Structure 1
Amino acid sequence: MDLPLIFNSCKQTKLHGRYVTNKHIAPILNDLKQFFEIDIIGTSVLNKPIYTVKIGSGKTRILIWSQMHGNESTTTKAIFDLLNWLKSDDEKANSIKSNFSFCIIPILNPDGAELYTRQNFNKIDLNRDAYNCTQPEIRLLMQAFHDFKPDYCYNMHDQRTIFGLESDTGTYKPATVSFLAPAYNEERDINDVRLKAISVIAAMNETLQHYIPGQVGRFDDSYNKNCIGDSLQSLGVPTILFEAGHYQNDYERENSRKFIFFSLLSGFDSINENVLVQDEKAEYFRIPQNKKLFYDFTYKNVKINYENKEKISIFASQYKEVLIDNSVTFRAFINEIDNLEDVAGHEEYDGLGEAFRGKNGTNIPKNDTEADFFIGDRKFVNGKEVK
């Protein structure tokens, strides 16, 4: 498959940026009713509809949900790119529809999506509610699971810009896409169920290495019965965690959505071609594990005045995502001072030994203050140098 060509032909241009809510997807779903079965399976805490999209007539059944965390919208965009492709008469798309049946929940947490928060309106992390099922959104997901009886589950998320991967040469790259085949028990054993998830991930990683070499990661697989992926894996259904992360200079995650789309199609291909009889454990565990390696900005070789003594220091700034007028704004705040030798910045500045000067005349960076300052004569606003 020519994945870039397919993506460019079917990208859903009505969805872009980081803020994606029911208000954005409802008109698109209305247009898709002529192609797919669109339903409302229930409502959120604030009575917002939770939609499902059902597609295909095949025997392999895949349950997909996105925005369990309301502020993690990249995979939702990729899902609508997928829907755009599946509604076409493309020969490959028709083959997928004849071999698979999909039940897709585009936004599981519509209250959190509108508020742009990780939690639902009751301030509960839905991905820590699988065991007790106290929230209506997680109960609806479990109802869909039991009604649909999937052969695979895809749990779709975003990850923060802090995550990166270290190469054999010691260089760092952002973790643009990460995966996990969750554990089903405390011992993190690998049974036939988990092995199927591992094999799909290995196939997706093989594809992504052609496009983002060294930028695919693997999450820690410590078992947590409260997490939905661990719970469903323990119920005997292969479950895969998808994490859309940072791509260079792509804070809107428009490139990241493309690589999630590539992952989806290559994963379907691997299942369809029945390559999963192979034992891919070695390939899976060869995927490097995510580490907290990055800040959004680092500033090295900066002179500061600490307790009336001058010293050369390193400090960092990190974006906070702030919802203003239905748009996500990135505001940089000073986040860490010193002890930064083993981390990198998505943007890095050399202070050349010049002195730090804050906007209030301070001569030392202070944590959790806005990243507006001078280094020598160079002016920095919202973390970036102004030229």
Structure 2
Amino acid sequence: MKSTALRLFVFFLMGVNGYAQKELTSELYRTYDRYKESTLNERRIKHKDLQPLIYNIAKDTLFTVKKVGESIEGRSISLISVGTGKINVLLWSQMHGDEPTATQAIFDIFNFLESDDYSEEKKEILNSLTLHFLPMLNPDGAEVFQRRNALGIDINRDAAMLQSPEGKILKKMRDSLQADFGFNLHDQSTYYNAERTEKPATISYLAPAFNYEKDTNSVRENAMKVVVFMNRILQKYTPGQVGRYNDDFEPRAFGDNIQKWGTSAILIESGGYPGDVEKQEIRKLNYVSILSAIYTIAMGNYKDMPLEEYGKIPENDRKLFDLKIKGATYRLMGHDYILDLGINRLEVDNKDHSGFYYSSRVIDQGDLSTYYGYETLDATGYTLWPGKVYPYVVKSMMELAEVDINFLLKSGYTYIRMAKLPESPNEANLPIHLLGMDYNVPDFHLEVGINPTFVLEKNNKVRYAVINGFLIDLSTGKEDFKNGLIYR
């Protein structure tokens, strides 16, 4: 009788804890804007952007801030710790300089922890755990918005040789803390989709393998269970948009080795979300996901997660384009062919790496029936024609402002020649390309690698224009256009 009563009491406590967990995670999403760090709202953040925030955090007695080393170019790398618990959790972000989404989310988490809200839940976290953050592990890469560090190596492939100071710092922190859990925070390509679906892999998770056989032990299983918990949370906000990253063992990678060294390693990859170029919605999902994981580790109820759910998370696939055009007719050497086109809008950084413009490319063509697009046009019955150069020279930007661009596009013109091109920026903000006086547009041949600029005609009428990979509906004016290009 006593045994039955005890079991019922345990189940009751589990239910109460589960309900409290569910309530907190819902609140994290709902109240996010209270804690969002407003000074970090674009992806191209730099080391100097973080220093005032770290300085202010250091003044709060809740946190301990310690400089733990420098990058190759001499930028400081800080460890920010909070909590008094026996379970050590290490979180590091931006070991790839062009993957900043989680760095922003970390500073949102600091704001949450500094606030007076949710005191009981935070007490549970900070009494059970000690959290250690290494935000922006690769500040030199972040400075020029590139994956690699100033030595030109991928820090995430430096766990074995430890050639880089940044890699040595991460290894030293993991070892000195003997971290129980480690969160490896990255961005992945926006072109990943959840396997066999058109949905982007907005967030992908992985409990990395620690050997080629992909064996599991208690360390990896704990990581898998935390992933299962986070997946359950995010399904509420991005149903079907969570993926599982490839778990092939990579003996040079930090995540795989950290798992092998005895820390339950969890990879979080931030992918794509429709209309979220600066990944601010995905940043919010990172915030909710990471804090929820921290809370379940503090409560210990991640241990109740069914391990078999981990393998049911769809694997990442890479079958998304920014724009997919289905079934367009393309005429070549007197014959008509039916083609699908896959187009991606590739970012080109400005000289100071503070912003970017798009220079798009045809990535694939032919039968793309197993691929998807963030935007898809069924071009059945439409013929694809190269755009033409407007026959009159426009003398100035003032004169260009008077030109009816929509009329030109409907007439099949996709280029305007100018007597004097603007000196900056490098891109044209109008939905048409600008040409210098001496520039000759190459003969059009539809092939992988070209800039996608053409018109789509049906019944002798141009209905759509594609300028630098952006689709413009000429009958409705509907567009989400960013920039054309300047050809000097």
TM-score range, shorter chain: over 0.9
Structure 2 counterpart of 1:28, from 41, 53, 65: 53
Does the aligned pair in 1 maintain the 2:37–2:111 contact within 8 Å?
A: yes
Alignment partner of 1:366 is 2:416: no
* Counterpart position of 2:365: 337
Q: TM-score, normalised by structure 1?
A: 0.95
**CA distance, structure 2, for counterparts of residue 81 and residue 277 of structure 1:** 27
* 1:165-191 CA-partner distances (Å, limit 9, x unpaired): 14xxx6421111110000111111110
The structure number with the bigger radius of gyration is 2
**CA distance, structure 2, for counterparts of residue 108 and residue 237 of structure 1:** 19
**How far has the Cα of 1:67 moved from its partner?**
0.5
Alignment partner of 1:161 is 2:242: no
* Counterpart position of 1:278: 304
**How far has the Cα of 1:102 moved from its partner?**
1.4
The AA in structure 2 aligned to 1:290 is: N
Does the aligned pair in 2 maintain the 1:165–1:293 contact within 8 Å?
A: no
Q: Evaluate the alpha carbon distance shift between residue 80 and residue 331 of structure 1 in structure 2; reply closer, same or farther with a 3 A threshold.
A: farther
* 1:141-167 CA-partner distances (Å, limit 9, x unpaired): 11111122211000000011111114x
* Counterpart position of 2:313: 287
**How far has the Cα of 1:357 moved from its partner?**
2.7
Does the aligned pair in 2 maintain the 1:86–1:94 contact within 8 Å?
A: no
* Counterpart position of 1:256: 282
Does the aligned pair in 2 maintain the 1:298–1:316 contact within 8 Å?
A: yes
* Counterpart position of 2:134: 105
* 1:322-374 CA-partner distances (Å, limit 9, x unpaired): 22141133432221111311001111122233222334475542322223322
* Counterpart position of 1:76: 103
The AA in structure 1 aligned to 2:67 is: I
* 1:280-321 CA-partner distances (Å, limit 9, x unpaired): 320111111111120111111212123442211111111222
**How far has the Cα of 1:79 moved from its partner?**
0.8
**How far has the Cα of 1:240 moved from its partner?**
0.3
**CA distance, structure 1, for counterparts of residue 446 and residue 104 of structure 2:** 38
Runs of 4+ more than 6 Å apart: none
**CA distance, structure 2, for counterparts of residue 258 and residue 320 of structure 1:** 24
Q: Superposition RMSD on alpha carbons, in Å?
A: 1.7
Q: Following superposition of structure 1 onto structure 2, how do residues 299-318 of structure 1 map, counting pairs within 5 Å?
A: 299-318=325-344
Does the aligned pair in 1 maintain the 2:124–2:299 contact within 8 Å?
A: no
* Counterpart position of 2:32: 7
**CA distance, structure 2, for counterparts of residue 183 and residue 371 of structure 1:** 40
Q: Evaluate the alpha carbon distance shift between residue 180 and residue 171 of structure 1 in structure 2; reply closer, same or farther with a 3 A threshold.
A: closer
The AA in structure 2 aligned to 1:181 is: A
Give structure 1 stretches of 5+ with no counterpart.
none
Q: Following superposition of structure 1 onto structure 2, how do residues 36-55 of structure 1 map, counting pairs within 5 Å?
A: 36-55=63-82
Does the aligned pair in 1 maintain the 2:206–2:247 contact within 8 Å?
A: yes
Q: Secondary structure at the match of 2:153?
A: coil
Q: TM-score, normalised by structure 2?
A: 0.76
Q: Secondary structure at the match of 2:31?
A: helix
* Counterpart position of 1:63: 90
**How far has the Cα of 1:59 moved from its partner?**
1.5
**CA distance, structure 2, for counterparts of residue 157 and residue 50 of structure 1:** 17
Q: Determine what percentage of the aligned residue pairs are the same residue.
A: 33
Give structure 2 stretches of 5+ with no counterpart.
1-23, 388-440, 478-488
The AA in structure 1 aligned to 2:50 is: I
**How far has the Cα of 1:279 moved from its partner?**
5.8
Structure 2 counterpart of 1:328, from 353, 356, 360: 356
Q: Following superposition of structure 1 onto structure 2, how do residues 210-221 of structure 1 map, counting pairs within 5 Å?
A: 210-221=236-247
The AA in structure 1 aligned to 2:32 is: F
The AA in structure 1 aligned to 2:231 is: N
Higher relative contact order (CA 8 A, sep 6+): 1
